[in-house]
Amino acid sequence: MATSLDLNDDSPCSNPQQQQTETHENSSETALLGEPRGYLSGEARVERAWGHWSKLGRPKLIVAPMVDNSELPFRMLCRKYGAEAAYTPMLHSRIFSENEKYRREEFTTCKEDRPLFVQFCANDPDILLEAARRVEPYCDYVDINLGCPQRIARRGYYGAFLMDNLLLVKSLVEKLAINLNVPVSCKIRVFPKLEDTINYARMLEEAGCSLLAVHGRTRDEKDGKKIRADWKAIKAVKGALRIPVLANGNIRHMDDVKTCLEETGADGVLSAETLLENPALFAGFRTAEWVDDGEEGNKDGLLDQADLLVEYLKLCERHPVPWRMIRSHVHKMLGEWFRIHPQVREDLNAQSRLTFEFLYDMVNRLRELGVRIPLYLKEKDSHVQGAPEDGLAN
């Protein structure tokens, strides 16, 4: 069936008690502390990069930046279940600089939301710096998106399409590295030729990048389910650089985390798509898709995606975000459940205005219909860092 669009999808879910959520509405809230860090070269730059990373505890399990999907409530849910750091969704630097409503609705954080990378797309160094200065008191890195491969990035001339203009990329990194108090990080995709990728990464390091996340697919390799990320390319980048390097791609469960770290030598891993379906991935939980038939050592983890969704909704009540984000997470977490009872999905799609009451009732309805698809734990992964809160909603 055709889905009706939310009339209120761009409006934040309302909640009178928002004291723990910080919104950033004007430059007076983001007065800089101290002098800019300034550009360092050689050994001093490398030492500072590692000193900062070590101060943060060298996090290895990280929520990747996802447009409209790595917002504060979702980040907090993932942190409860083992994530050690997280990126914000990609923010558009020009709109962020110009539009107070965009800043207020698209970037929220709280004191527990650390370590935090705030990611921007940009193609103008001055505009990027203006946006970055608004968030630097509230984050641990300002990140430049150099990896988005989507058509909107082509039209807007940002993300992976800046790979065709390395002088511009260099100027973006240098502008932030010289003028910010917090370090600059970058997230990239690889070139088809490994040599080009290595040269690209070295240029970013020389320009002042303090941490590099490498997605092991090219700009044209958009389908992550059909195309495996190239961990060998990530290993080569790690071997060529002296700053911390993170690996992105092929992380579906904790076995992948272990194998990726071993094969690439990376200092941490990012997960995106799998976390949307299973925010408890980093606590060792996995969906049935990643449990081999007859494999010993797997057990029902006494947690499922409906439990996680209820926890997410409660976090949204505390930390309001636009309804379009909530709707997206409902579909991602309950996709398999909706395939069993598509009429429940159709009722959800028919709602032009969502409410928490409707969503909690929807979960209860699925339960009453007898749906439960457990998340599984391997015995060796059973050191769970989180547990369901409060059962079902009232």
pLDDT tens, residue by residue, 245-291: 999 999 999 999 999 999 999 999 999 999 999 999 999 999 988 88
Question: Which whole number is the average pLDDT over 182-206?
Answer: 97
For the chain, the maximum distance between any two Cα atoms, rounded to a whole number of angstroms, is 63
Give first-to-last CA distance, the chain, whole Å: 30
Q: What percent of the chain has pLDDT over 70?
A: 84
63-77, 114-128, 163-177, 217-231 — which is least confidently predicted? 217-231
Provide the domain limits for residue 336.
Answer: 298-380
Task: Judge if 229 and 347 occupy the same domain.
Answer: no
Residue 158: inside a domain, yes or no?
A: yes
User: Per-residue pLDDT for 155 more than 50?
Assistant: yes
Q: What percent of the chain has pLDDT over 90?
A: 76
13-27, 33-47, 64-78, 324-338 — which is least confidently predicted? 13-27
The count of structural domains within the chain is 2
- 141 contacts 182 by C-beta, under 8 angstroms: yes
Residue 25 pLDDT: 45
Residue 391 pLDDT: 37
Residue 37 pLDDT: 58
Question: Which whole number is the average pLDDT over 342-354?
Answer: 96
Task: Judge if 81 and 214 occupy the same domain.
Answer: yes
Task: Judge if 277 and 302 occupy the same domain.
Answer: no
Residue 13: inside a domain, yes or no?
A: no
124-128, 152-156, 174-178, 383-387 — which is least confidently predicted? 383-387
Task: Judge if 143 and 226 occupy the same domain.
Answer: yes
68-72, 97-101, 154-158, 182-186 — which is least confidently predicted? 154-158
- 127 contacts 91 by C-beta, under 8 angstroms: no
Residue 378 pLDDT: 84
Question: Which whole number is the average pLDDT over 4-10?
Answer: 49
Task: Name the helix (H) or strand (E) containing 76.
Answer: helix 72-80
| 225 or 190: which leads in pLDDT | 190
Of 197, 237, 177, nearest to 49 by C-alpha is 177
- Give pLDDT tens digits for 304-328: 999 999 999 999 999 999 999 999 9
User: pLDDT band for position 82 (50/70/90)?
Assistant: very high
Among 250, 281, 312, the domain-final residue is 281
Residue 43 pLDDT: 85
Omega before residue 388 within 30° of 0, cis = no
Respond yes or no: is residue 13 known to be catalytic: no
Contacts of 18 (CB under 8 A, 6+ apart): 318, 319, 320
**Residue 146 bridge partners (DSSP):** 188
* Average pLDDT over all residues of the chain: 88
User: pLDDT band for position 27 (50/70/90)?
Assistant: very low
Residue 393 pLDDT: 36
Task: Judge if 341 and 202 occupy the same domain.
Answer: no
Of 305, 369, 359, nearest to 333 by C-alpha is 305
- Give pLDDT tens digits for 207-235: 999 999 999 999 988 666 678 999 999 99
Residue 83 pLDDT: 98
Crossing angle of helices 305-318 and 356-368, in 10° steps, is 170
Phi-psi region of 40 (alpha: psi -120 to 50; beta: other; left: phi over 0): beta
Residue 27: inside a domain, yes or no?
A: no
Residue 387: inside a domain, yes or no?
A: no
User: Per-residue pLDDT for 388 more than 50?
Assistant: no
User: pLDDT band for position 29 (50/70/90)?
Assistant: very low
Residue 142: inside a domain, yes or no?
A: yes
User: Per-residue pLDDT for 16 more than 60?
Assistant: no
Residue 345: inside a domain, yes or no?
A: yes
Distance, CA of 49 to CA of 20 (rounded, Å): 30
Among 230, 251, 281, the domain-final residue is 281
Task: Judge if 308 and 167 occupy the same domain.
Answer: no
| 32 or 292: which leads in pLDDT | 292
Residue 361: inside a domain, yes or no?
A: yes
Which residues in 216-237 are b (16+ Cβ under 10 Å) and which e?
bbbbebeebeeeebbbebbbbb
Task: Judge if 258 and 193 occupy the same domain.
Answer: yes
User: pLDDT band for position 23 (50/70/90)?
Assistant: low
Question: Which whole number is the average pLDDT over 102-108?
Answer: 95
Residue 291 pLDDT: 83
Task: Judge if 255 and 335 occupy the same domain.
Answer: no
Residue 207 pLDDT: 96
Residue 109: inside a domain, yes or no?
A: yes
Distance, CA of 191 to CA of 102 (rounded, Å): 33
Task: Judge if 204 and 155 occupy the same domain.
Answer: yes
Choice among 78, 110, 121, 148 that is catalytic: 148
Task: Judge if 126 and 202 occupy the same domain.
Answer: yes
Residue 33 pLDDT: 38
CATH number for the domain that contains residue 51: 3.20.20.70
Provide φ and ψ at 236, rounded to 5°. -65, -40
Tokens in use for 106?
């698209």
- 3 contacts 327 by C-beta, under 8 angstroms: no
Task: Judge if 93 and 129 occupy the same domain.
Answer: yes
Tokens in use for 4?
């009706």
User: Per-residue pLDDT for 30 more than 50?
Assistant: no
Among 246, 281, 316, the domain-final residue is 281
Residue 17 pLDDT: 40
Task: Judge if 55 and 195 occupy the same domain.
Answer: yes
User: Per-residue pLDDT for 58 more than 90?
Assistant: yes
